[in-house]
Amino acid sequence: MLRPFIRWQIKLSDAFDKLLPEEYRLDGNTHFVREFVNPYFSAGKVIYDVGGGGTPLISADLKKRLQLRVVGLDVDPRQLQFAPEGTYDETICANVTTYRGKEDADIVICQAVLEHVEDTQAAIRAICSILKPGGVALIFVPSRNALYSRLNLMLPHSLKKLLLRLVYPGVRKGELFRAFYDRCTPNDMVQLAKLSSMTVENQKLYYVSKYFSFFFPMYLVWRLWLIFFRTWRGDQAAETFSMALCKIAPANDLSLDGASEAERVSRGARSDRGLF
């Protein structure tokens, strides 16, 4: 009886969403994977997938087609072993908050990871150390200001895991990891980027999540609250957000035409659309 009831409630929630403007219906994780990262991929890039573990963002087929070098960095060696064959050229088992890179990456991907670290500033600093000057970190982050994040912080972890598995049997493994949401808001992330000599090259904010869709009355109240919250707090009301953080090149790192390496990477990223 429970499963049919939940499916019915989710259908009601989806039907209500169709009445809202498109900006309130765009799923952040889907947009990040299918559209946000796309312009930055081009042939021959060195890419680190931080926290991708067993589910890297870049497939073996795309890696081969663009002749990419992909490095997987994760704190759990078991997760790295679960990755599909051929997706990683190298794996590194390390905690991103303490890792120091070799400045050899053109791109760092960090998808739904930063909310799980206790020190986000240290993680951003580590990501910056992985990037070449002018390199870009592509991050997707659930916001600390989202209502589900607040509940996540309040409820015991064992209870959260039980509820997620009960209500959403197909929940992603990453959503079962303990979350801290340390400085995980759009404004905080801009400030953390500045502290690590990075600039925000691109940003996309999302105003939907599906955690409460299993019970339509709760979902309806939450959606109305979100609209009010956005009117009140603006960007800070985003449920999730994507950012492209560009590592600032040294002032003397100029190309022949006078543009910095960061600017040249930015221009190249924007010209390589449609690779997926």
Phi, psi angles (nearest 5°) of residue 135:
-70, 165
At residue 61's C-alpha, the angle toward residues 57 and 64, to 5°, is: 105
Where along the chain do its domains lie? 2-250
How far apart (Å, rounded) are the C-alpha atoms in residues 116 and 151? 15
The size of the chain, in residues, is 276
Query: What's the pLDDT score for residue 230?
Result: 95
Q: Which pLDDT tens digits describe the chain residue by residue (276 residues)?
A: 777 888 899 999 999 999 999 999 999 999 999 999 999 999 999 999 999 999 999 999 999 999 999 999 999 999 999 999 999 999 999 999 999 999 999 999 999 999 999 999 999 999 999 999 999 999 999 999 998 898 888 776 666 566 666 655 555 544 567 899 999 999 999 999 999 999 999 999 999 998 888 889 999 999 999 999 999 999 999 999 999 999 998 876 544 344 444 444 444 443 333 332
Q: Please list, in sequence order, all residues whose beta carbon lies within 8 angstroms of the beta carbon of residue 35, skipping any fewer than 6 positions away.
A: none
Considering the chain, what is the average pLDDT of its residues?
A: 87
Number of Cβ within 10 Å of residue 234's Cβ equals: 12
Query: What's the pLDDT score for residue 85?
Result: 94
Task: Please classify residue 154 by burial: count the beta carbons closer than 10 Å to its beta carbon, then call 0-12 exposed, 13-18 middle and 19+ buried.
Answer: exposed
pTM of the model: 0.85
Q: Please name the helix (run of DSSP H) or strand (run of DSSP E) that holds residue 24, with its range, or none.
A: none
At residue 117's C-alpha, the angle toward residues 265 and 222, to 5°, is: 95
Query: What's the pLDDT score for residue 160?
Result: 58
Tokens encoding 130: 């992985």
**Superfamily (CATH H level) for 2-250:** Vaccinia Virus protein VP39 (3.40.50.150)
Sheet containing 240-247: order of strands: 90-93, 69-74, 46-50, 105-111, 131-142, 240-247, 198-206
How far apart (Å, rounded) are the C-alpha atoms in residues 180 and 82? 25
Helices 2-17 + 216-233 axis angle, to 10: 40
Query: What's the pLDDT score for residue 210?
Result: 84
DSSP 54: T
